[in-house]
A and B are shown apart, each in its own frame.
Chain A
Amino acid sequence: MGMTMAEKIIARAAGVDSAKAGDIHTVELDRLMSNDGTTHLTIDMCNKLKHPHIQDVNKLVWIVDHNIPSDSPKTAASHKKMRDFAREHGITFYEGEGVCHQVMMENHVCPGELIFGADSHTCAYGALGAFGTGVGCTDYLYAMVTGTSWLLVPETLRFNLTGKLPEGVYARDLILTIIGRIGANGANYKAMEFAGEGLKTLTMSDRISICNLCVEAGAKTALMEVDDVALSYLKEHGREPKALFTSDPDASFAAVYDIDLSEIQPIVAKPHFVDNVVPAKESLGVHIDEAFLGSCNNGRIEDLRVGASIIKGKKVHPLVRFLVVPASRAVYKQAAEEGLLDIFMEAGAIVMNPNCSVCWGSCQGVIGEGETLISTGTRNFKGRAGHRDSFVYLASAATVTASAITGEITTADMLK
């Protein structure tokens, strides 16, 4: 019996010849990412250990991205704790560099690796053929101290992609369509693997966006075959693959879905669940108070180019705040060089430093009682972006920008 990508990566990390879904293996982790969402808790627990210890400090990457710059003395203290600990132990540490997953993709993730991140969207790393999975701070601490953890080998849902996304339709629309189809727990405990000719038509930015959101279907991880697009991204960023895996032709999948990209259309996820999706055309006219273009899901240069091309020469609606938040410093600089930030600012957008922003609902941009946000962020749970009685719609960079211009949910083609 052949193996899936997920099985091969776990077998490699467990030092065994083969692994199959349902097995539990002790695995050696390649990399351990943590951000300011929970690192202070990990440090508190670590300091209480009888023998605090880091198995291999080179595995650790710590990133301040959720509340940067700090918005209160409490977060400043939490950041200081993280900064001091990182310096004391020689942990790779970023502050102000960008949203953790974007920073990881730009600087660290290698194909074939097994990575724990103390953040649920760690599954983004599958865009480079790495098994990334989110854990809490106790699992993180255990992995930090021992270099290992235990993993249940997941079953795999395989998505064979064919065709090409139509003009004006984006990776965000594709993954929301898939989550709508399989449901918010449709991939619970499972890996979501993407392959096929259609995959080759997707940019790295598209791929990160797709893998990133798979946890919203409950997935343990997302994986994509590493092809020339991924290899050239890796090379551009000065790295080499650790191991290249593809699923064997006779690998066993829990389910196989054939998706024709040419049939995808603009989608929005309505409050308060990511799988509550409808064609964007069915949500037209919903009044919005704020629009957000950014996050680990859609804050890359490609997304900013889409937004800028739509808003160039137009204005943000006078009753809307339009937040534009590049996902990393590299994206920010590139956007400045290309004149995109000027376009946004001339249109009346608020351009912010790279951070998680309103996507996580505890820093700049949170919305008030009764307000509605349209967002390229990751989640639209009740209260996620601010007040418990507020509303979040998720959509592509194009739909978000078009809606910022009109003050109501609008698809970009309607502005032409």
Chain B
Amino acid sequence: MSETFSARVWVLGDDIDTDIIIPTEYLALKTVQDMTPYAFSPLRPELAAQIQPGDVIVAGKNFGCGSSREQAPEIIKALGIKAVVARSFARIFYRNSINNGLLLIENPDLRDDVTEGDTIEVAVGEKITLNGKEYPIASLPENLLEILNAGGLVKAMRKRNGLED
């Protein structure tokens, strides 16, 4: 059974790089939670404080390009972002997101139609609905779904090995 949720949208542009998501100078902070106030700060310093748990980000192409720093998806998840929808994702960020249980959705058209503050309905692996218009989305392969649903790769391995927390 696929999960369905509705969420408020934050809109970002193309090529949101990992130094935008979390600038290098804050990587020395002790925990990901400590870093969250600085998420997206080079671009929109006020954004991290405005994001509410359950919101989604809708962005353009090449989201997450740049560094392999895994704090990038971790921080987005720690902010409570439920999913990132983008035209495309950079590959290292894509793997890191799955490995940390952050849902990523590719869609070529939603970004053109959506306005910040809109509410979208997401049926995971099926479609996104905005103002009655439907945007089909691909379903993930089984092995990636297992990781995502477990909350990340380490948790999935624990589960598979019967070592649940």
Binding site for B on A (CB under 8 A): 24, 37-38, 41, 45, 48-50, 72, 74-75, 78, 118-120, 134-139, 141-142, 150, 184-185, 188-189, 215, 218, 220, 273, 360-362, 366, 379, 381-384, 386, 388
Name the residue of chain A whose CB is nearest to the CB of B99.
Answer: A138
B130 at the A/B interface (Cβ < 8 Å)? no
12 A-B pairs with CB atoms under 8 Å apart are A75-B28, A78-B28, A136-B69, A138-B100, A139-B99, A139-B153, A142-B157, A188-B62, A360-B24, A361-B19, A366-B25, A386-B25
CB neighbours of B70 from chain A (8 A): 38, 41, 136-138
B36 at the A/B interface (Cβ < 8 Å)? no
**Stretch of B51-59, B87-95, B114-122 at the chain-chain interface:** B87-95
Question: Complex: how many Å from CA A150 to CA B23?
Answer: 29
Question: Complex: how many Å from CA A51 to CA B1?
Answer: 33
CB neighbours of A136 from chain B (8 A): 68-70, 92, 95-96, 99
Q: Which of A50, A78, A361, A379 is within 8 Å of B25, CB to CB? A: A361
Question: Complex: how many Å from CA A78 to CA B28?
Answer: 9
Q: Which of A138, A150, A386 is within 8 Å of B154, CB to CB? A: A138
Question: Complex: how many Å from CA A50 to CA B45?
Answer: 39
CB neighbours of A37 from chain B (8 A): 27, 67-69
CB neighbours of B19 from chain A (8 A): 361, 379, 381-384
Question: Complex: how many Å from CA A50 to CA B91?
Answer: 29
B160 at the A/B interface (Cβ < 8 Å)? no
Name the residue of chain B whose CB is nearest to the CB of A141.
Answer: B154
| Interface hits, B30-72 → A, CB 8 Å | 30, 41-43, 45, 61-62, 65-71
Interchain CB contact under 8 A, A384 and B68: no
B158 at the A/B interface (Cβ < 8 Å)? yes
Binding site for A on B (CB under 8 A): 15, 17, 19-20, 23-25, 27-28, 30, 41-43, 45, 61-62, 65-71, 88, 90-92, 95-96, 99-100, 141, 143, 152-154, 157-158, 161, 163
Name the residue of chain A whose CB is nearest to the CB of B87.
Answer: A185
> How many A-B Cβ pairs are below 8 Å?
113
Prevailing SS type, chain A contact patch: loop
| New contact pairs (19) apart from A120-B68, A136-B95, A361-B25, CB-CB < 8 Å | A37-B27, A37-B69, A41-B70, A72-B28, A135-B96, A142-B157, A185-B15, A185-B65, A188-B90, A189-B91, A218-B62, A361-B24, A379-B19, A379-B66, A381-B17, A382-B19, A383-B23, A384-B24, A388-B23
Question: Complex: how many Å from CA A48 to CA B65?
Answer: 29
Question: Complex: how many Å from CA A408 to CA B64?
Answer: 32
Interchain CB contact under 8 A, A74 and B28: yes
Name the residue of chain B whose CB is nearest to the CB of A273.
Answer: B15
Name the residue of chain A whose CB is nearest to the CB of B70.
Answer: A136
Q: Which of B24, B95, B158, B161 is within 8 Å of A139, CB to CB? A: B95
Interchain CB contact under 8 A, A118 and B68: yes
